[in-house]
Amino acid sequence: MPGRHARDADGNPGSPVADDRGAGIPNAGGDFAGGWLETTGGVLFVRRAGPVDRVAGSAESPRAPLLFVHGLGGDSLDWAELAGVLRAHDPTQALIAIDLPGFGFSLPPADGDFSLDAHGRAIAGCIEALDCGPVHLVANSMGGSIATRLAARRPELFTSLTLISPALPDPLPPRGSWQLLPAALPAIGPRLVSAGLRVDPEWVVHHAIRLCFGNPNRIDDTRRRLLFDIVRRRAGTAHGVDAYCASLRSLIASYGRRRLWADAAAVDVPTLLVYGGRDRLVSPRSAYRALRAFPHARLVFLPDAGHVPHLEAPEVVAGALMAFFRGAPVVAGTGRPAPPAGMVAAHATVDVGATGPTLRDERTVS
C-alpha cells in the first residue's frame, strides 16, 4: 500500500528497519516486524502481524484489527508479550502496534507538537493510511487518555476500546505519580531527565520496574533488556527526552481541565477497562469511576497486577480481550460497532503459580 515503510530513521526513503529486540518473546519477535509509515500525522514506526492488508468488515476479513498504543514510558514492543499470546490463539488475527510521534523509532513531528491531541491525530492518520478501520483500540496509561479523547471525537474509527490503566484525572493520585512531576517542568524537566538517563540509566530502569510492576520479580530477562533499550534510545536521540517531557506536560494539563471525564462520557463504543490493584501510578479506586463514566463499559480488575497488566499477566489480559471481542462485533460494511446487549462489569482475580498467571474468578459487579 502506498506510504508504507516510506522513510528510515533519518527521514530518508527506505525499507523496514531490522529490529530483532523482541526475538526472545514467544510467538512475537520476527512475526511482529515493523517499518515506517508516512501518515497525515507524521512518519510513524508501525509493527504488524496477521492479515493487516485486508479491510475490516470485508468478506475476506470480517474481524476488526487490533491496534495497540503504548504509554508515556514505552514503545510498540510493550505489546509483544500480549501479541504473542493472541497470535498463539489465532494467527489470522490482524495486530498493529505503533510508536507514538517521537517515541521508539517514530520520527518527531515537524511542528514539535507532542500534545495528546497531536498523538490522537497520529493514531487516526495511521488507521487511515493503512485503510484498516474500524479497529479494536488497545491502549495503556497515557495511551488510554489519548484513546479516550480520540474515540469521543472520531467514533467511526473504532469497533471498541480497551483501556489498560488509563491515565484519567484523579483528585487523589497515588504517590508514585508525583515522582513524574519534575519531568514536566518547562526547561528544567528535560535537563533533569537527560541527566538521569546519562548518569545512571540502570537506576532509571530499576525505578521504572518498581513503579510499574505489581511484582517486579515477574519481569524476565528479555523484557528487562527491552526496557534498557528504551532508556538508551530515549537518551540517544535529540527528540526522545523532549517527546517524553512535552507529552507528560500535555497529560497533566488535561487533568486540570477535567475534559477527559467528559470525553469518557461521550465514548459510544464498547469499552473494556483493565486495572491493577497494585498500580502505583493510576489509583485502583478510579476503576469504578471509569466504569460509571464510560457508557458501554466492562471492568476487569487484577488485584496483584501493577500499571502494566499486559506485561505482568499477558495470558489473563488476552483471555479478557478475546471474551470481550466476542461480545463487541463490528457491523460489517458500516464501520459501526454492535454494542452487546446486557453488557456487565466483570471482576477478575489472578493466581500466579508455577505456570504463570491464570484467571481464577469472574463475577458480576453491581
Cα gap 116→146, rounded to integer Å: 5
pLDDT of residue 275: 97
Cα gap 161→134, rounded to integer Å: 11
Q: Beta partners for 346?
A: 364
Output the CA–CA distances (angstroms, integers) from residue 187 to 109, 237, 246, 251, in the order listed: 19, 17, 10, 17
pLDDT of residue 78: 93
pLDDT of residue 130: 92
Q: Where are the alpha helices (DSSP H) in the chain?
A: 80-89, 116-130, 142-153, 175-178, 188-199, 201-212, 221-236, 240-257, 259-266, 286-293, 309-312, 314-326
pLDDT tens string 107-163:
999 999 999 999 999 999 999 999 999 999 999 999 999 999 999 999 999 999 999
Output the CA–CA distances (angstroms, integers) from residue 195 to 204, 215, 221, 234, 241, in the order listed: 11, 28, 26, 12, 10
247: nearest Cα among 39, 97, 70: 70
Between 151 and 2, where is the model more confident? 151
pLDDT of residue 244: 86
pLDDT tens string 32-71:
778 889 998 889 999 998 876 554 444 444 579 999 999 9
Between 314 and 345, where is the model more confident? 314
- pTM here is 0.81
Cβ pair 198, 235 in contact under 8 A? yes
Domains in the chain: ranges and CATH: 29-364 (3.40.50.1820)
